[in-house]
Structure 1
């Protein structure tokens, strides 16, 4: 189920994670600091980016990921990006947006209220699925 930012904050707190917003280095939108069960989100980001970032960091937190620098960390990052996309994007809505905007990832992202990176990660997942596994409701 797709949640708004405030609902995700409540989910994080219910799971025992603290979330704070503050200015962080420009090369990073958010951080999960596993020893402290702390998620830091850049306060200067637009809400839709904060929402995507919080979801991403929550996935790291739920898996107790401890960094992305190692080989294990790179695999965790790939998993996190995939799961984030699956949390934030609804398949039928994506398919409709894909058709409406002729595959333009920026316009699709805007329509779905996610970042372009989330759209690209969703596309990667979608391309790896067997066609019969993606079910769309008939109109």
Structure 2
């Protein structure tokens, strides 16, 4: 999925994006009650596209912060994994991993995303014997992508 597809998803959801200075520890945030994503201005490209996709995921799921920490952690993981599936092409990932072994920082640079997005993508990979599954679930045929490796 391209960056333009992320922007189209936001348009379809009626979510707008504004660039405003945020606290130093924040690159972006989704305000569900306002249907608004706020992003730190001046971010480098790979950080910008990763944060925008992550915040788009919050909009897709209608996430709002919770007073319960584990619920927030689950929403953050889900947002990173949703973003990873839209920003990382499996063939590009395979090539980057073959070049850079299992070094998430180098793979992230190669794929033009943040390390968090690469690590989220790696979390959703499941290996069984000579087969790697992307987003595997219980049941026959319940996976997003399957790849045989040797």
Question: TM-score when scaled to structure 1?
Answer: 0.85
User: Counterpart of 1:17?
Assistant: 15
Of Structure 1 and Structure 2, the greater helix share is in: 1
* Distance (Å, rounded) in 2 between the aligned partners of 1:117 and 1:132: 20
1:121 aligns to 2:120 (yes or no): yes
Return the alpha-carbon distance in structure 2 between the equivalents of residues 91 and 56 of structure 1. Answer: 18
Return the TM-score normalized by structure 2: 0.79
* RMSD of equivalent CA atoms: 2.1
How many angstroms does 1:24 deviate by? 0.9
What displacement does 1:129 show? 5.3
Moved more, 69-78 or 110-119: 69-78
Q: Distance in 2 between matches of 1:21 and 1:111?
A: 26
Aligned length: 135
Q: Greater strand share, 1 or 2?
A: 2
Gaps of 5+ in 2: 134-144
Q: Within 2, Cα distance between the matches of 1:54 and 1:132?
A: 28
Give the number of the structure with larger relative contact order, counting CA–CA contacts within 8 Å between residues 6 or more apart: 1
